[in-house]
A and B are shown apart, each in its own frame.
Chain A
Amino acid sequence: MNRREFLQVLAMASASGMALPTEIARAEAAAEALYDAPAFGNVSLLHITDCHAQLKPIWFREPNVNLGVGAMAGHPPHVVGEAFLKQFGVAPGGALAHAFTYLDFERAAKVYGRVGGFAHLATLVKRLRATRPGALLLDGGDTWQGSGLALWTRGQDMVEAAKLLGVDVMTLHWECTYGQDRVKEVAETDFAGRIDIVAQNIKTADFGDAVFEPFVMREVNGVKVAVVGQAFPYTPIANPRWMVPEWTFGIQEENMQATVDAARAKGAAVVVVLSHNGMDVDLKMASRIHGVDAILGGHTHDGMPKPVIVDAPGGKTLVTNAGSNGKFLGVLDFDVKGGRVLDFRYRLLPVFANLLAPDAEMAALIAKLRAPHDAKLGEALAVSEGLLYRRGNFNGSFDQLILDALIAEKNAEIAFSPGFRWGTTVLPGEAITLENLLDQTAITYPWTTLTPMTGEQIKGVLEDVCDNLFNPDPYYQQGGDMVRVGGMTWSCDPTAPMGARIDDMRIAGKPIEAGKTYRVAGWAPVSEAARDAGGEPIWDLVARHMRAKKTIAPPKLDLPTLKNIDGNPGMAS
């Protein structure tokens, strides 16, 4: 889209009462400046991560709660809203403020339009490659999962899109939930000779042999660049272990150091880790491994405009995180001379679909991939009166809709919904399509459950998940958000030790008793027993609920009462 076309789009938006003229003028000015990214140095790395199979432009609201505890309190990525703008020196009210924060989301979304989309991303990638010859495109994983289309094609749509986009190297997390055989099949067929899957921390469970190459060496403008893979360390814990029965994961610091040393010994002038650790884990790892120039991170979906520069043993390591849902493209430029990195520039460019013309070839591929499924995906299940989003440590309005549906359809007293961080946003007044619902639920273990649980067991679950989020040692965190809890009230002290964070659990004001049994609905069970038991897929249950309701009122969020987080900039006031 050229400038004239863009202005036409904005004029149409204005005519439909979507935004004020001053805001449109501001949007136009932002577009001019946004993608002006002069080249720097001689080695460039383009980075996408956690697109969660979003091929088309979407709405995506960033969180207003992303708490850090202990040494992480108040430090990136644990800043939201105004504190985020201040931390990174982003001007309020503009395109970047909209891209990086939840502030004024509904109004700003109408001004700046949808984000992401592979056709628009492809245009941006081509634009950057034109000024950065030889640039590598790295994909941090969570690429094949997160949409109905990806689920129905076992990730094949994303495999095709990644090939056309020109991804060079990738690592893994949700890809593994199609099963280890499917991942190997793609690696050995579609990806063979084109895209390298790297993971120093995936080994066979029996003998500890490497399943993928721990790193690949690529030459960029005569400079040897090693890309080390770090898959999500807790894949067999956070997701079903039966999907990767012969693989073991983990952080594996010692092997990471050995891999970096091996890459340097083979002459790498630049060593980067393509990581799916999550940002807190990356920051800790960076402080303990020497010889890494940068960790290009994902998993925790933190769109960080600037890298954190970590004091590593014997040097500095940059740690970045490139957001989620196809919303951003990370651009890391290195100036490398005499076999080492002298300087760098980093940008995290938001992909505004209205400001980037769709790439014709990618648009055609997406249209072809979607054609057999378009009608089904487009089914309007209900109209949403409120904003539906997921991100946030404790709950999101789309999760509340899922919880409400679970309680109603399962005749449960309490409902649990996993704290996934993927899932797109629906604006007020929009139809909620089956595609929107699958954006929140498309997994390969979607079964709903109804389980009798004692009050003590309920507390046990909440404490366990809460520790995965707020353990003061990042290596014990799993990077998701808190399990969403419907039907009960409770309090949470993120700063307390495990076992002492959850308190005051009540149903309709009445304390939950440790020995009493309650009917608890949920979905996404990870055990083999749950797989064998089956159950209605969550999307069928929620779709049935929504079709009957026709109109979804703004969900009232069930949120815990939080303690000891006053003044924490990871919580918007």
Chain B
Amino acid sequence: MTDQPLNRRGFLARAASLGLTTALVTTLAPRLAFAEWNKAAFEGKTPADALKSLGVADAKESADIQILASDIAENGAVVPVQAVSKIPGTTQISVLIEKNPSPLAAVFEIGPDMLPDVTTRVKMGQTSNVVVLVQAGGKHFTATKEIKVTLGGCGG
């Protein structure tokens, strides 16, 4: 054995070899399974529709929300977007892709023992603003980042 720290791949490989992955999944799964599905919000055709269905009347821009994502998508079919909220009492983090046919891509319910740091992968057909909406203490906050989707080629 070396004393090198395990990276995630190594950890998962080792966890799998020890039969631990099932246990990991079961501890995380219930919260996902029991989160309420806001059908109207996910089927909203404009950002305004989606926000309305999420019960957002007034959202304030906040520098305490960080969006970690590539400026130009490497593959529009799977664009990784990470959202981190530093706003105390964060209970929900949502991701909206303004120009998608159904803008709302994800809603994460943040429990009291969870870090408000989530990552998802979204599909984007064209360059668009990505809006992260945070609910904290009954109030709403947003941050926006443009992610460009290009045809590719022609570089360098």
Interface residues of A (CB under 8 A from B): 142, 173-174, 204, 206-209, 232-234, 236-239, 241, 248-251, 254, 299, 418-422, 460-461, 464-465, 467-468, 471, 473, 475-476, 478-480, 483, 498, 524-526
Contact = CB atoms under 8 A, between A and B. Distances in A.
Contacts of B73: 237
Contact of B74 (A249, A480, A525): A249
Contact of A250 (B8, B71, B153, B155): B71
A208 B12 CA distance: 13
Given A207-B9, A468-B150, A476-B148, A174 B156 contact: yes
A468 B75 contact: no
15 contacts: A174-B156, A204-B9, A232-B156, A234-B72, A237-B74, A248-B70, A250-B71, A465-B154, A467-B148, A468-B155, A476-B148, A478-B155, A479-B156, A524-B153, A526-B152
A214 B24 CA distance: 30
B71 A251 contact: yes
Interface in B119-138: 127
Contacts of A468: 150, 154-155
Q: Which of A204, A233, A471, A476 has the most CB of B within 10 A?
A: A476
Q: Which of B80, B127, B153 has the most CB of A within 10 A?
A: B153
Interface residues of B, number: 22
Contacts of A208: 8
A464 B151 contact: yes
A234 B7 contact: no
Given A299-B156, A480-B156, A250 B7 contact: no
B68 interface: yes
Interface in B1-39: 7-9, 12
Given A206-B9, A461-B151, A238 B156 contact: yes
Contacts of B154: 238, 418-420, 465, 468, 478, 480, 483, 524
Given A465-B153, A480-B155, 14 more contacts: A207-B9, A209-B8, A233-B70, A239-B155, A241-B152, A248-B70, A250-B71, A467-B150, A468-B155, A476-B71, A478-B155, A478-B156, A479-B156, A483-B154
B156 A525 contact: no
Contacts of B153: 238-239, 418, 465, 524-526
Contacts of B146: 476
Contacts of A418: 153-154
A142 B156 CA distance: 9
B67 to A, nearest CB: 11
Contacts of B75: 236, 241
Nearest to B70: A250
A30 to B, nearest CB: 32
A460 B72 CA distance: 17
Given A250-B70, A254-B68, A464-B151, A420 B156 contact: yes
B79 to A, nearest CB: 11
A478 B151 contact: no
A413 B73 CA distance: 32
A207 B7 contact: yes
Nearest to B84: A254
A489 B31 CA distance: 59
A467 B7 CA distance: 38
Nearest to B119: A208
A461 B72 CA distance: 16
A43 B89 CA distance: 50
Contacts of A251: 70-71
Nearest to A207: B8
Interface string B56-84: 00000000000010111111000010000
Nearest to B73: A237
A469 B129 CA distance: 20
A232 B155 CA distance: 10
The 7 closest A-B pairs by CB, nearest first: A238-B155, A250-B70, A478-B155, A207-B8, A480-B155, A526-B153, A475-B71
Contacts of A524: 153-154
A422 B74 CA distance: 23
A234 B155 contact: yes
Given A237-B74, A250-B71, A209 B156 contact: no
Nearest to A247: B74
A476 B69 CA distance: 13
A428 B142 CA distance: 60
A524 B151 CA distance: 13
Nearest to B155: A238
Contact of A173 (B70, B148, B156): B156
Nearest to B151: A464
A473 B154 CA distance: 19
A286 to B, nearest CB: 17
A1 to B, nearest CB: 34
Nearest to B74: A236
B7 A464 contact: no
Contacts of B9: 204, 206-207, 209
A471 B71 CA distance: 12
A61 to B, nearest CB: 18
A239 B156 contact: yes
Contacts of B8: 207-209
A299 B98 CA distance: 33
A171 to B, nearest CB: 14
B118 to A, nearest CB: 15
Q: Which of B8, B152, B156 has the most CB of A within 10 A?
A: B156
A476 B70 CA distance: 10
A237 B71 contact: no
A241 B71 contact: no
Contacts of A249: 74
B20 to A, nearest CB: 17
A289 to B, nearest CB: 15
Contacts of A299: 156
A239 B74 CA distance: 10
